[in-house]
Amino acid sequence: MLDLCSRAMDPRLWISSSGVAPHSVALSSDKTVVGRSPEADVVIEDEAVSWNHLEIERRGDVLMATDLDSRNGTALNGEPLDRPRRLRDGDTLIVGDYRLEVKTGSATPVGATVAAGEPSVALSEEERATAAALVAPYRSEGAFAGRPATRAEIAAELHVSERTAQRRLDALAAKLDVPGDAGRDRPRQIAARVIELGLDRPR
């Protein structure tokens, strides 16, 4: 019983991607390398992922993530991981087409729930399409693109006017509890929530 409890305390990385059943790995070693290499601690078979892409270092109760000069970069909560950053419970890393969610507690991770088809935020098909268009640059240009789509890009992708695209973004922001006074950073905040909750993936 004690052994089970101690193992449950280990932080875990929940890994999910479209068409792949979510699974988790324990971050029990001092260093965990994520990459396409067969020698990596966490192997991700995705051409967009570098041989040795990302390293997660455990320093006692602290987890640090470092991008290993990967070709397409890593995003942490929608932002480029351009320097070593501390990871906290619920943080989301994007590596290629894969979503890695950090869990330091015993609660069910959002990623596993979303991948199982039970999103914590219910979106209409229109809202889901808007969300997917918003975060498309992170997916197509690699995580290092570090920006959400512009209103014009969303309008072009969805074949609607920019005014309609803005209205849909406003509705999405309201549903995701992104404040209206966020200013120019608002699209990035919406994108971060979309990625965090995995709302851009097909149901």
Helical H runs in the chain? 2-8, 110-115, 125-140, 151-158, 162-175, 186-197
Higher pLDDT, 122 or 81: 81
The pair of structure tokens assigned to 179 is 């404040």
Work out the average pLDDT over 44-70.
Answer: 92
The pLDDT assigned to 54 comes to: 96
CA 6 – CA 105 distance, rounded (Å): 12
CA 78 – CA 67 distance, rounded (Å): 14
CA 133 to chain centre: 15
Model confidence at 9, pLDDT cuts 50, 70, 90, reads low
| pTM, full prediction | 0.56
pLDDT digits (tens, 9 = 90+) for 143-163: 445 578 889 999 999 999 999
Task: Tally the C-alpha atoms within 13 A of residue 101's C-alpha that lie toward its C-beta.
Answer: 22
Distances (CA, A) of 36 to 26, 53, 54, 67: 18, 8, 10, 14
Q: Return phi, psi of residue 180, to 5°.
A: -75, -15
Q: Return phi, psi of residue 4, to 5°.
A: -65, -40
pLDDT digits (tens, 9 = 90+) for 24-56: 888 888 999 999 999 999 999 889 899 999 999
CA 78 – CA 188 distance, rounded (Å): 7
pLDDT digits (tens, 9 = 90+) for 73-117: 999 988 899 899 999 888 889 998 888 988 886 544 444 444 434
